[in-house]
Chain A
Amino acid sequence: MSVSASPTPSDELSAPIDARADSQSASPTPAAEAAHVSFSYGDRTALDDVSFTIARGEIFGLLGPNGGGKTTLFKLISTLAPLQAGDVRILGCDLRHDTLALRRKLGVVFQHPSVDGKLTVAENLAHHGRLYGISGARLKARIAAMLDQLGLSARAGDLAETLSGGLKRRVELAKSLLHEPELLVLDEPSTGVDPAARREFLNYLAHLRDAGGVTIVLTTHYMEEAERCDRIGVLHQGRLVAIAPPGELKARVGGDVVVIVAREAAALSARINAQMGVATMMVDGTIRIERPRGHEFVRDVVEAFGAEIETVTFGKPTLEDVFVKLTGAAFHAGPPMAE
């Protein structure tokens, strides 16, 4: 949340209609359909009855804090983890039975590097291509094309370990796109990448969608990344709590968001509620209030309780506010769970 109230870039993207129903009717076979998917590690539930549909040619973001279940969902979609309960069809293939056929159409980018540092950039791509049955002239042509598209041609002969973090991510992407997948799945693609490189990366994903019709599914805990998605699914404690375009989700938050930090926050929250007749919410030790015309409320609340308030912030709702609204939990305050 910020004090500035500037509109976010994705506001133009958001349409008031339900994009999910709309895109389903436009394309006969969706890129992915999941119904009642549950997954557990021993007795810890990672996914709990998750259902969603992803249309062809959209960028679908899975947003949630660590431990929310998004990495597990990534593992299922990328065929790394076996489906335990529920049904999933991806690109027309049954996830349980047509794994090999599905893998040919799937490009996967992992959170941890999968490039071999001891191999050159070109060698990494060549090995990857052969694993997908590509060889000879076609392999050469695909490698050259990918190096060119991702601006890696000059580094083709360098060992991958000598590349910067941002360039290594590009090699990962080049690998995953070498065999011309229909669906690209990315796990936390911008972890460890600086903001400029992140923007560039997201621009490239948008280009892939627009120019190549590639469907893109990514997991993220970066709000700015989620804002760039056509639709996002919000995951919290293994449950999908909302699926909608980012703009629509933000519209669900009533007006502006005011956050008050105070020493006796709980007591103050109750008094604001009683005296001003305003619904308040305690999140992570702070008081949150959603109000239309928030600036007027800020003036009133400071006038009434100025002595007890330490700071007041107010802004347009962000996806972070959406998350708080949907789950009642702070986005970054959840218990750190290893996935």
Chain B
Amino acid sequence: MSETGLQAGTLWLREITRFCRQRSRVIGSFLQPLVFWILLGAGLKASFKPAGMPAGMNYFQYLYPGFIVLVLLFTAIFATISTVEDRREGFLQSVLVAPISRRTIVLGQALGATTLAWVPSCIFLVLAPLAGIRLTLGAVLFAASMMAVIAFALTCIGLLIAWKIESTQGFHAIMNLILIPIWLLSGAFWPVAGAPAAMQLTMRLNPLTYGMSALRASLYTGQTAGAASLPATLFAVAIAVAFALAMFALAVRTAEHATAF
């Protein structure tokens, strides 16, 4: 194995080992979005039918992919938050003085956090029949790949912020101010097509909208009118992948310029 691979691999393994030893994190990252989805979906299913929602679909089904992305968002962000304190008073200190490039550090961290976000979201995927969504093998593979791409992008956003700021309190503020709105405006709660014009524009400019669309498309494969109002699938996939790579590049740049104090 190349030295870079060994280095990134060991950082990845550390994230996984730590996560598995903290049961509450494992359970929390999965249960919170599940509860939200069930309560919101069940409560709004009967009365709520946003404009632009594909025909033949209820709101419970519409919300389902949105909450898969919420699982990804929560886990990805909480897996990266340790970077803030770790680099001043923890494990990362010794990584920073090791013969390893910042790019490799970010790669190892991103792959670790992506894995941590991806596994619980796959468990969420098993619940698709609850939402009335029939999954084919192709749909599962497509959805799981899209979930990995979205997880990687969100993880890199988390790292980008974590390398930039000084305190975890700041991290929570940014999380509530930026990340949750990005999620809300990605089409998780309501379709782009039915939103007011100004919001539509914002939603179309939001890169996460495309990851969300691609995930929807993958889940509704084989369903009837599923993807009608969504952007073309291939286009959405391309934007989602490009977004993930761009966020990685930005996170690397931020880490390269970050000082240790």
Contacts and interface: CB of A to CB of B under 8 A. Distances in A.
A20 interface: no
Interface stretch (B84-92, B118-126, B132-140, B216-224): B84-92
Contacts, number: 80
B95 A118 contact: no
Nearest to B105: A131
20 contacts: A80-B93, A103-B99, A112-B90, A113-B90, A114-B91, A114-B92, A114-B93, A114-B94, A116-B14, A116-B90, A118-B17, A118-B22, A119-B17, A119-B18, A127-B11, A131-B11, A131-B94, A132-B98, A133-B7, A133-B99
A123 interface: yes
Chain A CB within 10 A, most for which of B22, B95, B98, B261: B98
Name the interface size band of chain B: 20 to 34
A100 B3 CA distance: 13
A115 interface: yes
A118 to B, nearest CB: 5
Given A81-B260, A118-B18, A130-B10, A110 B91 contact: no
A79 B97 CA distance: 6
A151 interface: no
Chain B contact residues: helix, strand, loop or mixed? helix
Contact of B3 (A106, A110, A133): A133
Interface residues of A, number: 32
A123 B11 CA distance: 12
Contacts of B260: 75, 80-81
Given A100-B99, A118-B21, A132-B99, A110 B6 contact: no
B96 interface: yes
A101 B3 CA distance: 14
Contacts of A81: 259-261
B27 interface: no
Interface string A210-246: 0000000000000000000000000000000000000
Contacts of B165: none
